[in-house]
Amino acid sequence: MRYLIRFSYDGTNFFGYQKQVNKRTVQGELENVLSRISKTKVLVSASGRTDALVHAINQYAHFDLNIHISCNDLKRALNSLLPKDIYIKSVSNVLDSFHARFDVLKKEYIYKINLGEFDPFSRNYIYQYNQELDIVKMVQAIEYFKGKHNFKSFTKSNNDIVDYEREIYDATIRVENHIMTISFIGNGFLRYMVRNMVGTLISVGEGKTEPDEILEIFKCEDRTKAKKTAPANGLYLKNVYYALN
């Protein structure tokens, strides 16, 4: 039987989502616990991977179990055995044809920046920029990311990728109590893409880059033309959307 889980995790003490040899990962923890419950090896397929230090508010993954267990009982068992930096929010049954990665319609990421004084308590969850930024120019600049673009300039160079085109449906910036939240909703995201877009927006906010320069960065299709990659700890996978949501 195929199950779909919705879960959150604090990425601070993980080497990312994807399983790695001799490293603590979210996928590794999930598969270890599920294998204990089913008494056989279980493989978990998520909507996508997140890098080290990146957090998830709502991540999704599917897996197959060879035992019958209710969704409520499975949720209870998982949360009793998983470490406290992973929490299963819901468990549901899905068709055997459902795939957590390939059936994604869109994803939403948010990035948090502290523009006020340094906060040691939130340093693992909000990028401590601790300076003012030109928010008006950043709001102008983020508009250039909307729509379909070739994002080769905003991702890690990878010879295996043949299609760098992605579509950003919506992108916003809001500030509340000195905390800036940048949101992107799109049909898919390349590795480091959000962090590179945020880094470029910060450069705009610093007055080092003009908003319309983003168009030229797109045209160059060259990672060296975009600005610095924003730190991982401010990034969250906020939600994943499927036809069944």
Residue that finishes a domain, picked among 93, 122, 145? 93
Q: Tell whether 85 and 126 lie within a shared domain.
A: no
C-beta separation of 31 from 44 below 8 A? yes
Strands (E), 31-114: 45-46, 55-64, 86-93, 106-114
Q: Tell whether 174 and 66 lie within a shared domain.
A: no
For residue 101, tell me if it sits in a domain.
no
Q: Tell whether 52 and 170 lie within a shared domain.
A: no
**What span, in angstroms and rounded, lies between the C-alpha atoms of 239 and 195?**
17
Q: Tell whether 87 and 119 lie within a shared domain.
A: no
Residue range of the domain that includes 126:
106-241
**CB within 8 A of 232, min separation 6: which ones?**
11, 51, 52, 53, 54, 195
- Report the domain count for the chain: 2
Q: Is 160 among the residues known to form the active site?
A: no
**What span, in angstroms and rounded, lies between the C-alpha atoms of 50 and 31?**
16
Q: Tell whether 221 and 130 lie within a shared domain.
A: yes
Q: Tell whether 65 and 154 lie within a shared domain.
A: no
For residue 100, tell me if it sits in a domain.
no
For residue 36, tell me if it sits in a domain.
yes
Q: Tell whether 59 and 7 lie within a shared domain.
A: yes
For residue 88, tell me if it sits in a domain.
yes
29 in the Ramachandran plot: left (φ > 0), alpha (ψ -120 to 50) or beta?
Answer: alpha
Please report, in tens digits, the pLDDT of each residue of the chain (245 residues total): 999 999 999 999 999 999 999 999 999 999 999 999 999 999 999 999 999 999 999 999 999 999 999 999 999 999 999 999 999 999 999 999 999 999 999 999 999 999 999 999 999 999 999 999 999 999 999 999 999 999 999 998 776 777 999 999 999 999 999 999 999 999 999 999 999 999 999 999 999 999 999 999 999 999 988 999 999 999 999 999 999 86
Q: Tell whether 146 and 35 lie within a shared domain.
A: no
C-beta separation of 234 from 119 below 8 A? no
Out of 10, 51, 64, 85, the active site residue is 51
